[in-house]
Structure 1
Amino acid sequence: MPIRPSSRWSKGVGAMARAASPLTALKREFKQKGEEIIDLQAGDPVIWGHINQPLSESLLQAVEEGSHMYPGSTDWFGRLREAISSFERVERGIDCSPKDVILTPGCAAAFNVLHYTLLDRGDEVVCFEPYHYLAAPTSYFSYFGARVVSCLTDESKDWEPDLDELRSRVTDKAKAIFVNSPNNPTGAVYRERLLRDIADIAGEHDLPIISDEIYGLITYDGVEAESTAAVAGDVPVMAISGMSKFFVRPGWRLGYIIFHDPQEKIAEIQDTMRRVATAYGHMTSCIPTPILAAAARIYKGSIETGREMVEELQVRRDFTFKRLNEIEGMSCTKPQGALYAFPRLEEYGEVWKTEEDLLSDLLREEKIALDTGSWYGKSGKWHFRTLILPEVPILEDAYNRLEMFLKRHT
């Protein structure tokens, strides 16, 4: 008799397949054949030449100092928590202390630890779509028997959430409300008043907020992305961030959860999550000691390198917004933050059944890889996600090819 895998995982394999973009396999096939692809899928700043030299120097210093022992044998965990709490107070306005910071090996791990701690069978997390949360972090919700409840946003109002729908979607099964600003994939930035309104609704139902703030310091045109944790009042917030984007270190796998809980409404959750994170660290080998040491120094230092990158990105954002809106049959809201644009295509139903079919043909014919909009929720239908990370000549080449492709087929 064969030994079978856990039913909790095997039943969810179909849903978990969403954790990989639908076009990734096709793109990989072309790359294995030596085809040159303009890959506008992964939001990885390093691939497109963005660097953070002070971080590299800090890591070399840690290595030269001999930071090769087990992390638990050092004081770097405590020093990094202290550095992060100070950084978040100054740069994001979050009133937190080192004890409010839980370190994880990457933001994905932060989501994992949070979900393992928070969710039981039948629980619901309410979130706004389109959002990357639907595409990957919730792909294993079936393991818990939990589910995501989606609320729509208004594209004509720069993807602003519908608060009346939010109220209608919160039931007694809800365990949390999820917020992401600046948003992946739309680039929308929620203003302080909107975040306060969302917090008020969460407070009415005694719910915590999960806030993805990894793009919090990547904004354009002088717009500031307020931290939900800084404006939520007495509503508890679990804010997730890390080093992948602004600090240009996705491969370092360093993330964290910050607790804002002035009335200790979720103190038991925080205590349990800290223990879950410790166990998770054992399972994943934790954050390497040299990276802990380097990060602790960087979070206490200057962030000018990151700000210079954002200035470069604004130029590329401006070009992307202008060029996409010049293509017939396409429109795009102006991203106010993050690393992406999320343009809308006309429904080319006579040629393609879905935007995934369109983008598959685009990849085959023009060797341009883009993410399908439906991957980010139903409201992403006939959209695609593209990057603003590459230099302008690369973006120009990609969108010229896209324009010629659409003209050829329509």
Structure 2
Amino acid sequence: MLDSLPKDKSLAANGCEDKTWKVVASSAAKNCKNYIRDIVDNLALEPNRDKAVIALSLGDPTVYGNLKPSPETVQAILEAVQGGVCNGYGPCVGTDGARKAVANYLSFDGVNFEAKDVILCSGCSSSLDLCVTVLADPNKGHNIIIPKPGFPIYRTLAESLGVEVKTYNLLPEEGWNIDLLHLEAQIDDNTAAIVVNNPSNPCGSVFDESHLKDILEIASKHKIPIIADEIYERLVFPETRFVSAASIDADVPILICGGLAKRFLVPGWRMGWIVIHDPVGAFDPDIRKGLASLSQKTIGSNSLAQGALPAILKLTPQSFYDDLVNILYDNAKLTFEALSNIAGLVPYMPEGTMYMMVKIELEHFPEFHSGLDFMQRLMEEESVFCLPGECFGISEFMRLVITIPSELIQEACNRMSEFCGRYYT
């Protein structure tokens, strides 16, 4: 067509106006927001140049190099690489051997899964993405209900799809259990799913069997499926027992999300899973097919990690898990004791995971108008960085990680003591 135009005439002269480029991002891109980055990037974080930065903010347990995967995990990935048979594409939902390994690993406390119940994903965040996408439809005005405080990825995933997000409160004075009355009040005819994070990030809390039963009773009453974020499964401290939502005798369909990242200390390997627990057949066949279809977007998860998965899950000794829990528990006790002696701070002893929530009694720090102000000045003066509670939807709190070496935890607590001592009134 263009070749046939007269050589001496422009496009405009032939009825084709010259237009400027108008390439705009989609609504999905515009709605996708990392709430932690959105808050942190707007802080003027300049550390004290005379003090080395101590980062108590990162949920990556590998950052300081003191926590390493088990030798069995390392050997399994080496064998997957050297074997040369895990370099190509596999089924989008995962290989049969890897899916069976996950099913066996999670079959405990009277629950029995099969390989067909497992879909492998690119990390637990990918698992959550698929679950939200398969259950919540923005064209139907759906909403999902998430915990507050809670990990912000739930909001990021839902809002990028155009799905409304509602929140239910966790109660610090009750060990961060769910405010059940508030949860039920948030449910309406458009609620597509309730997200339950147990053990909890950021709170470090672990729901007992009785509380889980109460949660599932509400879900059963309103016929709302559960998305159970159990990435910290069994990463609980002595005298605390992890109870999976799937082990509760209830007629509630549940999509369980987990992976290798935390308990096995390999978050960068991007190996997550969804396990379908459906005692009433509510997910058959539509949701099961939907999850399989959605998994085609990434064309499967990491093939090397899949190849190593059976050996990792079968051969990692209990002593590795116990040692990790003991390190985290000792760090939690150290942090809790140190912060309990600082006027103006109220730490909440976790029952598991890798985190601790600390209340900032701002009424005793009139210099600061918010937790964000407090955290910014703490970084500027003491080079200690924690995530402000605003990152998790709650003000006047901060979240600390307890994965770093104990000597750095002690140093960070000493600096926080000095900082609070300067401003406490």
Sequence identity percentage: 26
The question of whether the paired residues in 2 share the 8 Å contact of 1:123 and 1:145 is answered with no
- Aligned to 2:90, what secondary structure does the other structure show? helix
CA distance in 1, matches of 2:336, 2:50: 31
Of 97, 100, 110, 1:82 maps to 100
Give the CA deviation at 1:76.
Answer: 7.0
1:152-200: CA deviations, max 9, x gaps?
Answer: 1221111121111212111111111111111111111111111111111
CA distance in 2, matches of 1:26, 1:153: 27
Higher helix share: 1
1:147 aligned residue: 164
2:194 aligned residue: 177
1:342 aligned residue: 357
CA distance in 1, matches of 2:91, 2:160: 34
1:117 aligned residue: 134
Where in structure 2 are the equivalents of 1:5-44 lying within 5 Å? 5-9=24-28, 11-12=30-31, 16-20=33-37, 22-23=39-40, 36-44=52-60
The question of whether the paired residues in 2 share the 8 Å contact of 1:186 and 1:342 is answered with yes
2:313 aligned residue: 299
Q: Do structure 1's residue 219 and structure 2's residue 236 form an aligned pair?
A: yes
CA distance in 2, matches of 1:391, 1:161: 32
More deviation, 4-13/348-357 = 4-13
2:407 aligned residue: 393
Give the CA deviation at 1:403.
Answer: 1.1
- Aligned to 1:139, what secondary structure does the other structure show? helix
Give the CA deviation at 1:20.
Answer: 2.0
- Aligned to 2:77, what secondary structure does the other structure show? helix
The question of whether the paired residues in 1 share the 8 Å contact of 2:144 and 2:191 is answered with yes
- Aligned to 1:72, what secondary structure does the other structure show? coil
More deviation, 388-397/68-77 = 68-77
Q: Do structure 1's residue 63 and structure 2's residue 81 form an aligned pair?
A: yes
CA distance in 1, matches of 2:357, 2:134: 33
Q: Do structure 1's residue 100 and structure 2's residue 117 form an aligned pair?
A: yes
Letter in 1 for 2:145: V
1:177-228: CA deviations, max 9, x gaps?
Answer: 1111111111111111111111111011111001110111111122111001
The question of whether the paired residues in 1 share the 8 Å contact of 2:44 and 2:376 is answered with no
Give the CA deviation at 1:353.
Answer: 1.3
Q: Do structure 1's residue 351 and structure 2's residue 370 form an aligned pair?
A: no
Point out the structure with max Rg over C-alpha.
2
Q: Do structure 1's residue 322 and structure 2's residue 341 form an aligned pair?
A: no
More deviation, 152-161/237-246 = 152-161
Give the CA deviation at 1:74.
Answer: 12
Letter in 2 for 1:5: V
The question of whether the paired residues in 2 share the 8 Å contact of 1:71 and 1:287 is answered with no
Give the CA deviation at 1:34.
Answer: 11
Of 166, 176, 182, 1:165 maps to 182
Relative to structure 1, the CA distance from residue 34 to residue 407 in structure 2 (aligned partners, 3 Å threshold; closer, same or farther) is: closer
Relative to structure 1, the CA distance from residue 311 to residue 203 in structure 2 (aligned partners, 3 Å threshold; closer, same or farther) is: same
TM-score by length of 1: 0.91
The question of whether the paired residues in 1 share the 8 Å contact of 2:206 and 2:242 is answered with yes
The question of whether the paired residues in 2 share the 8 Å contact of 1:95 and 1:230 is answered with no
More deviation, 158-167/295-304 = 295-304
- Aligned to 2:204, what secondary structure does the other structure show? coil
- Aligned to 2:276, what secondary structure does the other structure show? strand
CA distance in 2, matches of 1:75, 1:331: 45
- Aligned to 1:262, what secondary structure does the other structure show? coil
- Aligned to 2:95, what secondary structure does the other structure show? helix
Give the CA deviation at 1:370.
Answer: 0.5
1:314-339: CA deviations, max 9, x gaps?
Answer: 11111111111111011122100110
Can you give the 5+ residue segments of structure 1 that lack an aligned partner in the other structure? none
- Aligned to 2:39, what secondary structure does the other structure show? coil
The question of whether the paired residues in 2 share the 8 Å contact of 1:23 and 1:369 is answered with no
CA distance in 1, matches of 2:397, 2:35: 17
Relative to structure 1, the CA distance from residue 184 to residue 125 in structure 2 (aligned partners, 3 Å threshold; closer, same or farther) is: same
1:130 aligned residue: 149
CA distance in 2, matches of 1:322, 1:146: 42
- Aligned to 2:188, what secondary structure does the other structure show? coil
CA distance in 1, matches of 2:159, 2:26: 10
- Aligned to 1:47, what secondary structure does the other structure show? coil
- Aligned to 1:42, what secondary structure does the other structure show? coil
CA distance in 2, matches of 1:165, 1:341: 24
Give the CA deviation at 1:23.
Answer: 2.7
Relative to structure 1, the CA distance from residue 117 to residue 29 in structure 2 (aligned partners, 3 Å threshold; closer, same or farther) is: farther
Give the CA deviation at 1:356.
Answer: 0.7
2:416 aligned residue: 402
CA distance in 2, matches of 1:214, 1:196: 20
CA distance in 2, matches of 1:34, 1:5: 45
CA distance in 2, matches of 1:176, 1:385: 26
Give the CA deviation at 1:67.
Answer: 3.2
Of 360, 363, 367, 2:376 maps to 360
The question of whether the paired residues in 2 share the 8 Å contact of 1:341 and 1:388 is answered with yes
1:257-284: CA deviations, max 9, x gaps?
Answer: 111002210221121111101x2223xx
The question of whether the paired residues in 1 share the 8 Å contact of 2:93 and 2:120 is answered with no
Relative to structure 1, the CA distance from residue 164 to residue 256 in structure 2 (aligned partners, 3 Å threshold; closer, same or farther) is: same
CA distance in 1, matches of 2:74, 2:45: 30
Aligned length in residues: 398
Letter in 2 for 1:64: Q
Give the CA deviation at 1:365.
Answer: 1.3
1:332 aligned residue: 347
The question of whether the paired residues in 2 share the 8 Å contact of 1:17 and 1:139 is answered with yes
1:348-394: CA deviations, max 9, x gaps?
Answer: 462111101110111111111100112111xx211000011122211
The question of whether the paired residues in 1 share the 8 Å contact of 2:93 and 2:292 is answered with no
Give the CA deviation at 1:236.
Answer: 0.4
Letter in 1 for 2:340: N
